[in-house]
Structure 1
Amino acid sequence: MEEQLEYIEGAEQPISMHPKKFALWLFIVSVVMVFAGLTSAYIVRQAEGNWLEFNLPEIFYYSTGIIILSSVTMHWAYISAKANNMAMLKLGMTLTTLLGIVFVITQWYSWVALVDRDVYFVGNPSGSFLYVFTGLHALHLISGVIFLIIVLISTLNYKVHSQNMARMEMCTTYWHFLGGLWIYLFMFLLLNH
């Protein structure tokens, strides 16, 4: 009987995760798989020939800087939340939300720049892929901006602090993921256009 009690006492605790965080990670993995499939299809289709070569619009460089800056402000907001520095948390979340909105606007203007260069969604597959990449990323980014707005409202209502970090952690993870995804897509397109 004593041996059984010792065994039970020495049992390890299972690793647990907030169910919403787990769902977020599943969603992130599914998005990674979609973009991995698309970039693979891009490479295969490009190798077949009949591929329009063009330079990426200059606005892509600006939007990349904006998304990197927004990740910095998001991390600043996260650290401020952990330290219960409410003024810096509010400022960080406000800046991140504004930068996210500006990024979405730059994506629109990148499409305008593509049309000015006679690169369309319908026509050569190189343009089609570019619109699909940027459009899908923009769709996910819009959901990220909505998430930022929700967390910003929670922040303004003092519902985000060191004792209530789940929503903030999820938003931070998702926003950094979206930034990393854009950098991946931008580098991929630079190297394979």
Structure 2
Amino acid sequence: MSAILIFLALITGIAGWWLARQRLMSKPWLEAGTVNAFPQTEAPLTHPAKIGLGVFLAVVGTLFALFISAYFMRMVYDDWQAPPMPRLLWLNTGMLVLASVSLQCAVVAAHKDQLDNLKLALLAGALTSVAFLGGQLLAWRDLAAEGYFAAENPAVSFFYLITAMHGLHVIGGLVVLGRTNVRVWLGEKSSKLVLSTELCAMYWHVLLIVWLVLFAVLMGWAAGFIDVCRRLLS
């Protein structure tokens, strides 16, 4: 439990540091003199949409941190029987990594006004994300085929719950990514798609980090890390 609190404090600290850099509490109208005399009081360069997305992603990170906390607290009971993780999860993880890399390439292409590369990168990001979701459904099917059902095993219930919540966030991101794909394939200029592409990439990078943490938890690797933290804190 102490390790989970440290993790939550770390997320809160990072979110607070990032928001502080946006100078949300600055009051430039109270300063006297020319603008050049107060270079730190100008409007933040970060677009409001990025700030809003950053706050939302901080909430998402906290939500999954709470899921992980509940996971570790529940696994100490005698009825906890961790199922074998489908090997397909490795391939799914690779798909999400490719999606994140593709969207970062899309950001680069948008800034360089490379429309063809932007089209391909955005399409690749969308297709690999859909492949990730399809792979997750196949992983569910494999578990069910081996007789692991949510109603009979709390560990399996957590697996379905955690992967479903992450999948729902991917689906939500695909709505925006799909609209961005439509805009670029309809011939909209790359300069008008920079912000949307950056937001998609930012969202997918965080989803990838969240999934890597969840993957480590589901595979049982994080349990050893928690034990080390408990020993250090005891």
Both proteins in one fold, TM over 0.5: yes
Q: Which position in structure 1 is the counterpart of 2:133?
A: 104
CA distance in 2, matches of 1:180, 1:32: 10
Matched-pair identity in %: 27
Quote how far apart the aligned CAs of 1:174 are: 0.6
Q: Which position in structure 2 is the counterpart of 1:10?
A: 37
Q: Which position in structure 1 is the counterpart of 2:154?
A: 125
CA distance in 2, matches of 1:151, 1:129: 33
Q: Deviations over 1:40-66 (max 9, x none)?
A: 111011112211132100111110111
Distance 1:160 1:142, change over 3 A: farther
CA distance in 2, matches of 1:33, 1:82: 32
Identify the match of residue 155 of structure 1 among 184, 191, 195: 184
Quote how far apart the aligned CAs of 1:158 are: 3.6
Kindly indicate whether the alpha-carbon contact (under 8 Å) linking 1:160 and 1:168 is maintained by their aligned counterparts in 2: no
Quote how far apart the aligned CAs of 1:81 are: 0.8
Structure 2 counterpart of 1:41, which letter? Answer: A
CA distance in 2, matches of 1:49, 1:160: 59
Structure 1 counterpart of 2:37, which letter? Answer: G
Name the stretch that deviates more: 8-17 or 26-35: 8-17
Q: Flag the structure with more relative contact order, 1 or 2, with Cα contacts below 8 A and sequence separation at least 6.
A: 1
Quote how far apart the aligned CAs of 1:26 are: 1.5
RMSD: 2.0
Q: Which position in structure 2 is the counterpart of 1:79?
A: 108
CA distance in 2, matches of 1:6, 1:144: 45
Quote how far apart the aligned CAs of 1:21 are: 1.9
Q: How many residues align?
A: 190
CA distance in 1, matches of 2:35, 2:169: 46
Identify the match of residue 115 of structure 1 among 124, 132, 144: 144
1:180 aligns with 2:213: no
Kindly indicate whether the alpha-carbon contact (under 8 Å) linking 2:35 and 2:42 is maintained by their aligned counterparts in 1: no
CA distance in 1, matches of 2:149, 2:189: 44
Quote how far apart the aligned CAs of 1:80 are: 0.8
CA distance in 2, matches of 1:160, 1:38: 41
Kindly indicate whether the alpha-carbon contact (under 8 Å) linking 1:120 and 1:128 is maintained by their aligned counterparts in 2: yes
CA distance in 2, matches of 1:5, 1:181: 45
Q: Which position in structure 2 is the counterpart of 1:67?
A: 96
Quote how far apart the aligned CAs of 1:163 are: 5.7
